[in-house]
């Protein structure tokens, strides 16, 4: 009998309480899912991307590990071998350090563009730290800044790639 999906939230809460920390407070969606139907065929849409594995390009400043709520703009043409990762839970980066496309799918995105699955992928993809403990910083600062970037790019949809 196959096991179901791993539950991550209860073990994390239990683990950190056991270590003497305040209970780990995951974000709980407090509203129904937002919903905006596509206004045109997918093959005509411009796709924005935000991934949360702490991806940066060689030459950019890396992320730090205490509530870094900055983000990086990663040119779509970046070679995968120039992608780097800095994330507070380094033990989840094993695959990305071998092949960045496991956590930041830049080559698959270029391929869905080339194959016409989407009209185009935005010229810059975005990346941030996944382990931000301040929900306020995310909700009040990071999310609006990213929303403004996506508005500037005039994307029709955004793909979220959490780690």
Partner 1 sequence: MGTAYDILETCKPPLAVFLDYPLGNTSGRPFAPDEQYAIVRSAVETLEGIREPGTILPLNRIWSEDETWKVEAAVTDTGDRRQPRDLTPRYQNEDDRVAAEGQSARFG
Cβ 30 to partner 1 shortest distance, Å: 9
Cβ 143 to partner 1 shortest distance, Å: 12
Cβ 104 to partner 1 shortest distance, Å: 8
Residue number with CB closer to partner 1 (77 or 160): 160
Residue number with CB closer to partner 1 (71 or 150): 71
Residue number with CB closer to partner 1 (15 or 136): 15
Cβ 150 to partner 1 shortest distance, Å: 14
Cα–Cα separations (whole angstroms), residue 137 to 18, 70, 114: 27, 10, 36
């Amino acid at each position: 009998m196959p096991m179901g999906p791993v539950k991550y939230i209860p073990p994390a809460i239990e683990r950190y309480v056991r270590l003497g920390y305040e209970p780990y407070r995951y974000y709980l969606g407090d509203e129904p899912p937002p919903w905006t139907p596509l206004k045109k065929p997918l093959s005509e849409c411009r796709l924005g991307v935000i991934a949360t594995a702490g991806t940066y390009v060689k030459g950019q400043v890396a992320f730090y590990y205490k509530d870094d709520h900055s983000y990086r703009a990663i040119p779509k043409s970046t070679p995968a071998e120039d992608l780097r990762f800095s994330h507070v839970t380094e033990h989840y980066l094993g695959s990305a350090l071998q092949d960045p496309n496991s956590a930041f799918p830049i080559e698959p995105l270029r391929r869905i563009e080339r194959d016409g699955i989407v009209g185009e992928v935005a010229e810059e993809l975005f990346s941030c730290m996944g382990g931000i403990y301040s929900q306020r910083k995310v909700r009040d600062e990071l999310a609006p800044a990213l929303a403004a970037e996506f508005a500037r790019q005039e994307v029709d949809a955004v793909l979220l790639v959490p780690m």
